[in-house]
Structure 1
Amino acid sequence: MLSSSARLLRLLSLLSSRPSWTCTELAERMEVTDRTVRRDIARLRDLGYSVDSEAGPWGGYRLRAGSRVPPLILDDEEALAVAVGLREAALSDALGGDQAALSALLKLRQVLPRHIADRLGDLDDAFVRLPGPDGPQMRPGLLLELAVACRRRERARLSYTDGEGRTTVRDVDPYRLVHAARRWYVVARDVARGQWRTFRADRIDRFQPTGHPADLTDPPDPAQLVSRNIANGPYPLSATIRLPLPMREALRLVPATIGTHRPDGPDATVIDIGGPDPDGLARYLLTLGSPLRVLQPDSVRQALERHARRLAEENAAQGQTRKACVRAFPASGCPAGPCPGAECGP
């Protein structure tokens, strides 16, 4: 027979595994009497777990969120998943500050069973993280404040600094949070302008709910709005191209953070891409390695033609040079070494 502590852990695990259990089902699973189940339910409530009960033949016990955080019961895979998630949050600063994630990870690792801690250590040894640019710093706790305002549909007042360093105070109706390109964005309606906007969370200096209901009439697609603003917002020039590829393949070639996509029939995609100037856009388009057509503007189309013509002329000139080398050095061969080109032959 299980000890009372082990029985409580078993009961808690069962209650967590599905929405509802009858007393008889729990008693059968735990091989105890109904009276023991009811007594153990009362003990769980004393420990801080909120267990609801419903009388009748269709009633039962349900575990719901409580007013404080009681001990958690995690299986091996769940504990490992939580530890890996905390590790990534601490390393990436995705929550606006790594201290809370790091503190939680250290506490969790202290109580992990040895075999789970060893698996986490194996992951630590195998993972390699390339150093990259420092991500934007966001005030700790801000992400939760933004999420609460979105869920409550509550208007808020924020102090925001734009990319040019100008700070403004404005009322917004928060709608959704979007994480893209190592940054958090708030999709909200600018009340004064009556427009849907995106705000970088790391540029929000102060955020204060006003207590007034938000007006979320006709909201946009949050992910599409953020993608479009990232792709075209900071650039002075925008080009429209057509790829002879279905939408899914075009997204793999040109990510949503670089261009705004729309299908042009089942086998083609039209993309709007921003860039610094025609030459810069032309150079990027050449790196795609795919047939494409520049729909607009003419300046980008002409720049692409110039770059493509220059590449073709350079390679044609290289071929002529190789042929001349073979004719000039028929016995000893080209002094530059073996020729990789098909043009150089006897």
Structure 2
Amino acid sequence: MTTDTPARLLQLLSLLQTPREWPGGELADRLGVSRRTVRRDVDRLRELGYPVQATMGADGGYRLVAGKAMPPLLLDDEEAVAIAVGLRAGAGHAIEGLDEASVRALAKLEQVLPSRLRRRVSTLQAATTPLVSGDAASVAPETLTVMASAIAGQERLRFAYRAGDGTDSRRQTEPYRLVSTGRRWYLVAYDLDRADWRTFRMDRVSEPLATGARFAPRELPTGSAAEYLRQSMQRRQETYTLTVTFAAPAEAVARRLPGWLGAPEPLPGGECRVRASVGESMDWLAARLALTGYDFTVHEPAELAECVGRLGERLTRAANGR
């Protein structure tokens, strides 16, 4: 019999997080207590925010259901390792749809992982090689988690940085947000030495260190970190105006395009139009548009239309075995 109430509640919660319905009598036997105690413990879990549903019947049953908020989860060793490995693999490469929330989750999980499990995660990570395409830049998950923790804790951050021209420098910053463009991670931060806002490509960052020195967050010049990054990228590189019409509804196209291209504009007849100022490789963008799976027409720039044509010819030759 488990006489320690907190320990018994954790054991009960672990059982209920298995996706099945537990008869009250079986829970009582597992915990070594009476059914009345099980009912009281279920009430305690409900008070803590766990949505435990009870069913009527001769024996009665309990199961954990979806609620309005996300309650804490109990994970066994294998589950914790699996989640950490998955998050580390995703965080190491800029994947569309994987944003700062994923990195924060990884930072929280690795903070509480026992050392033995941390070693298992590192061993699995070292033994696997992800297949990435194009110029997707690799980023050490530890770099992302250190920065995510510094952002959450409002701690000043130091790191080594190599610029695009190969110049090395040491930076001391007040980190603001991490932003994923779909292929790369960027840090938006206030650079203390330059007394101005800057963006940093994460694959060029090394030796990140949260100093422990706290700071009060400054107001970003633009409405969001993503918008600031977009404007910064436009200032640094030649951009062009993209106009494309898709033969598909706006909401369907939006689900298959990176967010930085903006929201598609609905058109009559179930079509939509995408307008954006971009600086991406045209060959890459041509392939990215084709991957939506919808028919589309490039109105501008003419160079992109030519890239799409060449891509179509290449794919046709591949399909015909020539």
The TM-score, its normalising length taken from structure 1, stands at: 0.47
Report 1 or 2 for greater relative contact order, CA contacts < 8 Å, sequence distance ≥ 6.
2
The TM-score, its normalising length taken from structure 2, stands at: 0.49
